[in-house]
Structures are given as C-alpha cells and as structure tokens.
Chains A and B, each alone.
Chain A
Amino acid sequence: MIVKRRQMNASVPAMAMGDIAFLLLIFFVILARARDDSHLQWKPAEGVELVRPATMNASVVIDKYNVTHLNGREIPISTLSEELKVILGENVAGRRTVLLKVHHEVTAVYFEPVIEAISEAGGELHHILEEYKQR
C-alpha cells in the first residue's frame, strides 16, 4: 500500500507583509537619523541667487547653541580640519564639497574658525542659505 505524503504548505502569509515593511521602514529611519543632521536646530541666513551643490561630501553645522557638528556628530573645532582631511581624502576638485549650515545669529568668533578649518582641509565651501523673502 502506498501512503501519500501530506504536502506541506510553506507560503509566507501575505497579511504580515505590511507589518514587515512597516518595521523595516522604522529600522531604516532610525539608522538614517543617526547619520544625518536633521535633528539639529538652526535657522539659515537669507541670500539671493542660491544654487544647489552638485556634490556633497561632508556637512558641518553650527547650531543655535554655537555647537559645531560634522555629519551630525558633535566635534571640537580643534580637530575639525583633521577629520575633514580624512573624509575628503584624495578626492579631486569638484568632489570636495563641504556644506556649511550656520544658524543666522551665530557670531564670527564661532563660524570663522570653522571656515578656516574647511579651507585648511582643502574643502570646497558651500554655504546653505534660505531664499530672501520680501516682507
């Protein structure tokens, strides 16, 4: 007598797909937030004829508390130049763009050493500003 083997059904339940996608999305959002600087508080200064940078190799933020951050991570100004040199490496001109996001009320005593450090590291400075609005 031949006994037929019972066939096992191994399909993934389609009901759970949405939940899986939801959890994956939250995972990637948390991962991305640790790397970017969107959580920092700063208000850009105004400018005219603004352009979008072609490349972005590093991002430096001076927030409204006068604290300097490199790629979302707090950094002392004394080590900024060295860290930027490591990030920019041997990149050719045009691929050494450093975005500088400075809170509009930050004073020269804080932002000038940062500009100097970017210049010393051979970074191509791109100030991030807000389009001037006529009031």
Chain B
Amino acid sequence: MKLKRTKLLVEPPASATSDIAFILIVFFLVCASVEPDKGRAQTLPRSEPEPQKDKQSQNIEVELTRDAVIMNGNPLPKETFVKTIILKLADKAREEDKIVAVKSRKEVPYSHWMDITGIIEDAGGVITLQLEEEQTVQVQ
C-alpha cells in the first residue's frame, strides 16, 4: 500500500518580506554609520596679525619639516625632542612663558604635525601657529 506524503508549505509568507527588508536596512545602516568621532581638543590663541616680537623671542620655537623637528634652530631626533621640550617647559611657571610657536613648512603632513603638537601639549606647552603672511609686491 502506498502512502501519500503530505505536501509541506515551503513558500515564505509574502506579507513578511517588507518587514525583512526593513530590518535588513536598519542593520546595514547601523553597520555603515560607525565613523570615528574621538580625538583631541586643542586650544589655540586667537590669531593676531602682528605678533609681539619681543615676547615671541622668549618663547620656544619649533619648526617642522616633512619628517624632522627643529627646536630653536637645532634639528633634533624625536626622542631627544620629547626629553628637551619636557625639560624646557618644566621650569616655566607663567602660562605666557609656556607658549610654543610652531612653524610648519608647506610639505608637512597632518599626521606628523599632530604627532609633534601632541608631544608639546602633553609637556604642558601652549601651541601658537606661526604662519607666513602672503604679501603682494608690485614691481614697477
């Protein structure tokens, strides 16, 4: 005697497909929206068009090239720079003496700039940017 197998319903209910799509979209949105939102705050004094030269000369001057650091005219390896800046800033009590003027050459990448300014701030320094002003000279 042959027994007939009962047919099973294998088709998913069509009414659920939009709900599945909705859940899938929410899942992909959550996955895609993971953006970096952490970082480092930096306090910069407001820009002054004419810096006071007599005060600036007492401050530490750091010049950045593409991959090197020059402090008060002396090129230093990174490890030596870290030690020197900590020592130099440690004996300065007043806030205005802790100002470090950072001058960057045009080709300095952001990653290098952030690295060095981070070291200065961790040592207690206050960053100021020394920018070259554009001047138009008319030649007659």
Q: Tell me, yes or no, whether A89 is within 8 Å of chain B by CB.
A: no
B129–A127 touching, CB < 8 Å: no
Chain B 42-54: CB-based contact to A (< 8 A → 1; otherwise 0): 1111110000000
Bound complex: CA A118 to CA B47 (Å): 10
Chain B 10-43: CB-based contact to A (< 8 A → 1; otherwise 0): 0000010111011001100100110111111111
A104–B109 touching, CB < 8 Å: yes
Q: A111-B110, A115-B129 are in contact. Are A53 and B39 (CB under 8 A)?
A: yes
Query: A residues within 8 A CB of B2?
Result: none
Q: Interface-forming stretch among B72-80, B81-89, B91-99, B100-108?
A: B100-108
Q: Tell me, yes or no, whether A105 is within 8 Å of chain B by CB.
A: yes
B18–A106 touching, CB < 8 Å: no
A38–B104 touching, CB < 8 Å: no
Distance in Å: Cβ of B64 to nearest Cβ of chain A: 8
B40–A129 touching, CB < 8 Å: yes
Q: Tell me, yes or no, whether B111 is within 8 Å of chain A by CB.
A: yes
Interface footprint category on A: 35 or more
One of B15, B42, B111 near A45 (C-beta < 8 A): B111
Q: A38-B33, A119-B46 are in contact. Are A125 and B41 (CB under 8 A)?
A: yes
Q: A18-B19, A25-B25 are in contact. Are A105 and B46 (CB under 8 A)?
A: no
Query: A residues within 8 A CB of B32?
Result: 38
Q: A45-B114, A124-B41 are in contact. Are A107 and B108 (CB under 8 A)?
A: yes
Residue of A nearest to B127 (CB): A115
Query: A residues within 8 A CB of B118?
Result: 47-48
One of A18, A62, A111, A120 near B22 (C-beta < 8 A): A18
Q: Using a CB–CB distance below 8 Å, which chain B residues touch chain A?
A: 15, 17-19, 21-22, 25-26, 29, 32-33, 35-47, 64, 104-111, 113-115, 118, 129, 131
